[in-house]
Amino acid sequence: MKKVLMVCLGNICRSPLAEGILKSKVNTSKIFVDSAGTAAYHIGNLPDERSIEVAKKYGIDITNQKARKFTVKDFDTFDFIYAMDKSNYENILMLARNTNDKEKVQLILNEIDADKNASVPDPYYGGNQGFEDVYKMLEQACERIENKLA
């Protein structure tokens, strides 16, 4: 079973969408998908209402998710760890114990544009359009990930 972890800061806006989108594309009995945040602010919370709404608009229910914090154990559990932005990426790498851990971590948008090192913008302080934009980027990236894992 391949295991994929989506990581953002709060685990309430971006990574829950990435988790929901990838789950909608793969056989979840063969590929395990989860998400986490590098910060502890929202542990136990549902995804942000605006993420729930944009996912619902595209037929995906993410209301079964609950925020949790990324832990060093996630390096043992997961094969692929996707960071939404550069800050998340650096925070995850700081916890890596060895090169094997480090090699699991990638910026998710590099699946679309390999060397661009682009970030999925944090939509938390913006409006609904930000969530729509994030959804579209993650939809494209998850399509690539699905092809890669198949």
Among 34, 74, 111, 122, binds ligand 4NP (CB under 6 A): 122
**What values do phi and psi take at 33, rounded to 5?**
-125, 135
CA pair distance 42, 2, nearest whole angstrom: 27
Count other Cβ atoms within 10 Å, centred on residue 81: 27
Q: Which helix (H) or strand (E) holds 32?
A: strand 31-37
Enumerate residues 37-96 that contact ligand 4NP by CB under 6 A: 37, 41
Indicate the residue type of 3. Answer: K
Is 10 near ligand 4NP (CB under 6 A)?
yes
Helix axis angle for 49-57 and 14-25, nearest 10°, is 30
Enumerate residues 97-116 that contact ligand 4NP by CB under 6 A: none
From 13, 14, 34, 74, active-site residue: 14
27 or 133: whose CB is closer to ligand 4NP?
133
Active-site annotation holds for 14? yes
Is 13 near ligand 4NP (CB under 6 A)?
yes
Active-site annotation holds for 76? no
Interface contacts to ligand 4NP, rule CB under 6 A: 8-14, 37, 41, 122, 124
